[in-house]
Amino acid sequence: MRTINIEQWNVGELVHRIPGIAHALRSNNVDMTNRMNLGNAAAAASASTEHILAVADYRLRQAARRGQAVKAPAKAVEAVYGEAELVV
């Protein structure tokens, strides 16, 4: 199983690639306009990166169950279908 460290994606990439993640970021006070990677953005907002990633993982799996396409490169699509896992 390959691992995908989405903590290195910047906030804009995360919002674009994972359906429903914008709400999780907003609710954790992450600045949605910045270009910091998720780890730095979460730290700056005193948010839990693990919580945000858990929501991201849940949203990816939810989209896969509904058969929805995820706007993402191949690595993120693999995560949707369980061929890879998201890590911090």
| Per-residue pLDDT in tens (0 to 9) along the chain, 88 residues | 455 566 666 667 766 666 666 666 666 666 656 566 666 666 665 556 666 666 666 666 676 676 655 444 445 444 444 444 444 3
Alpha-carbon span 19 to 23, nearest angstrom = 10
pLDDT per position as a tens digit, 7-23: 666 667 766 666 666 66
Instruction: State the burial class of residue 2 (Cβ atoms within 10 Å of its Cβ: 0-12, 13-18, 19+).
Output: exposed
Given this model, what pLDDT does residue 19 score? Answer: 60
Give the global pTM. Answer: 0.40
Are residues 64 and 18 in contact, defined by beta-carbon separation less than 8 angstroms?
A: no
